Chains A and B, each alone.
Chain A
């Protein structure tokens, strides 16, 4: 499942990651591809030692029903964590991101992939995703604007934990 372009750092960037095992019917591979790969949780758990020995960038991707606590201890050695959205209406991935960032303190690249598009990017970016791989039928360049749907946020989240009410107080204080 090679892709050339992702949205990262709020812009289009070339991408070198290869997500393994996310295509329906994709056979389990005995021989792992070279280069930076993102493996499913089951594969990570099964072949962890081997994967670490590869000395190439390694990431793990989660299904929405998988518990991020399962990789909590491994997060320092993962260069990327990805969360799959089988349908964009399945919102479990938003809480997974929130847990990875807030409970498990993950600071690396956090990627959303699967059925996501322009109209999900703002909320996805708020809960801690900073990298977005759109399906091939959606144009990432056209989706970029979705990151900027709102400039004011009522509630705190991963991108900015300060809710508006604390800023309001600050603004009033600074106005004397």
Chain B
């Protein structure tokens, strides 16, 4: 992974000093709450329902074991011994003290971590594929490019006070594991006819109150120009994006209002005039950064070791876990492994400090010390030898990190919701828990097959409910908590938004509603169809009928 040199360290040290002084001035009354708010948000610090909520950046989802141990220590020392992985690779703490945050920043800096621009109206953490560098279906490793863009976006002076937050993602793989179409800028690696590497540039995607798929602004951008072109997109957005209404301030609204042609014309005009050759990425810089992402010292595959094949054939639970949580690796004899953070009794994405320590230990023992955070709120060990899988599984299972439900309903993706977040309209965690408990039976889950269930406590869509095969959104009606259900959404190359099935439900109805949706699917499905395929084929009507059919139930729905 990328390691900081003296310059990176200096910048980070200066950031810590800057925020320490800002916090001191706020506590001394020299900065008002209004003056301090944007400054603390640019350091990932929210003032929340119970305490500050503090968001630590995990750039493009890559962590090493030293960093995990530091995060573990921070959760114990400054919080209540746990943290929450988000859908954007970040780790959130729910109970830090405002006055401790500068010290936390200093602790993070010691392991080359930070919380730069993890909130606020600026360029947020850059995200990418959690299998970057090990996936067999990628045309290039996106991480060096993501790091170069991370550096460019960090403390970028022109774009610190944008109309609204701004999210950039990279995808280099055939299968999109990044929700690329839902980013303000989506950079899709492509090769042109001459074989040159570049990007198909997507712009104006997003979730939120007005979900939109990104549109293509440029079919091919040479990779060296990624900083100059992103700069022009951001400048046009910074100048013309709406600032009068927070719900209409994202770039997607500007792109929609101007139309992609006019938006493109403005960007291309700016780019033609202001493109600075100094910001064109050099081969030397790419080589410097790429060297940090060189593959680890893999062992050659060995034909003699039959342990994996034997365990796979003889142990059904292990085989099931392999089927769901183990992913193909470009290197023969290796696999990438998802450590599931979805278990009953624990909010999705939550992890304790002791578990972080354990994951660090397992990463050192089985995976070259590296860990990834997936946007589905799980952790991934990207480089595990096949012959270690069974042993690793036993240890994960003992630690309750081996729920074999990746891609199934049990892999519930959810924001922290109204229990912890002051933006939320409704709680999500009790619903997630009720669903996890109702469908705990693994045979049933495997029978249902691939199903993404996503839940957000409000329109900010941190749980990506729009792209859930089943999406659940917390809504407020006259001060009480209700849940709106969508079906048919999906992420990936064929990304689509879910459709609302009808009036929303009370919390205690939700497990039944989900069960009825599943029953409808089971009754209607044809051979090989996933839930979402059946929705596509038969439409919403059978699902609505099953859910709202009985008049008594309909009467209760609001």
Partners in one complex: yes
Which A residues contact B (CB, under 8 angstroms)? 88-92, 94-96, 98-99, 102-103, 117, 119, 122-124, 126-127, 149-157, 161-166, 168-169
Q: How far is the CA of A64 from the CA of B5 in the complex (A)?
A: 38
Contact string, B224-246, partner A, CB cutoff 8 A, digits 1/0? 00010000000100110001000
Across the interface, which residues of A come within 8 angstroms of B38, CB to CB?
88-89
Docked Cα-Cα span, A157 to B15, in Å, equals 19
Measured in the bound complex, the distance between the Cα atoms of B272 and A103 in whole Å is 10
Residues of B within 8 A of A (CB): 5, 7, 10-11, 14-15, 18, 22, 31, 35, 38-39, 121, 148, 151-152, 154-163, 227, 235, 238-239, 243, 273-274, 276, 278-279, 281-282, 284-285, 288
| 7 A–B contacts from the bound complex (CB under 8 Å) | A94-B159, A95-B158, A95-B239, A151-B10, A155-B152, A155-B155, A164-B7
Chain A residues, Cβ within 8 Å of B10: 151-152
Give chain A nearest CB distance to B25 CB in angstroms: 8
Inter-chain contact A94/B278, CB cutoff 8 Å: no
**Least Cβ distance of B244 to chain A in Å?**
11
The distance from the CB of B102 to the nearest CB of chain A, in whole angstroms, is 14
Are B235 and A168 neighbours in the complex by a CB distance under 8 Å?
no
* Residue among A155, A156, A168, A169 having the largest count of chain B Cβ atoms under 10 Å: A155
A89 touches B151 (CB 8 A): no
Q: Are B14 and A166 in contact (CB under 8 A)?
A: no
Cβ–Cβ < 8 Å partners of B282 in chain A: 165-166, 169
Contact of B11 among A154, A163, A165 (CB under 8 A): A154
Q: Which residues of B contact A127 (CB under 8 A)?
A: 157-158
Contact among B22, B157, B278 for A161, CB-based, below 8 A: B278
Going nearest first, the 4 A-B pairs with the smallest beta carbon separation are A91-B161, A126-B157, A123-B157, A165-B285
Which B residues lie within 8 Å of A157 (CB)?
Answer: 156-158
Contacts of B22 in A (CB 8 A): 119
CB distance from B195 to the nearest CB of A (A): 25
Q: Which residues of B contact A103 (CB under 8 A)?
A: 273-274
- In the complex where A155-B152, A168-B288 touch, is A91 in contact with B278 (Cβ < 8 A)? no
Kindly state the separation between the CA atoms of A149 and B154 in the bound complex, as whole angstroms: 14
Shortest beta-carbon distance from B231 to chain A in Å: 9
Q: 5 more A-B contacts (CB under 8 A) besides A153-B11, A164-B7, A165-B285?
A: A90-B243, A91-B159, A96-B239, A102-B274, A165-B148
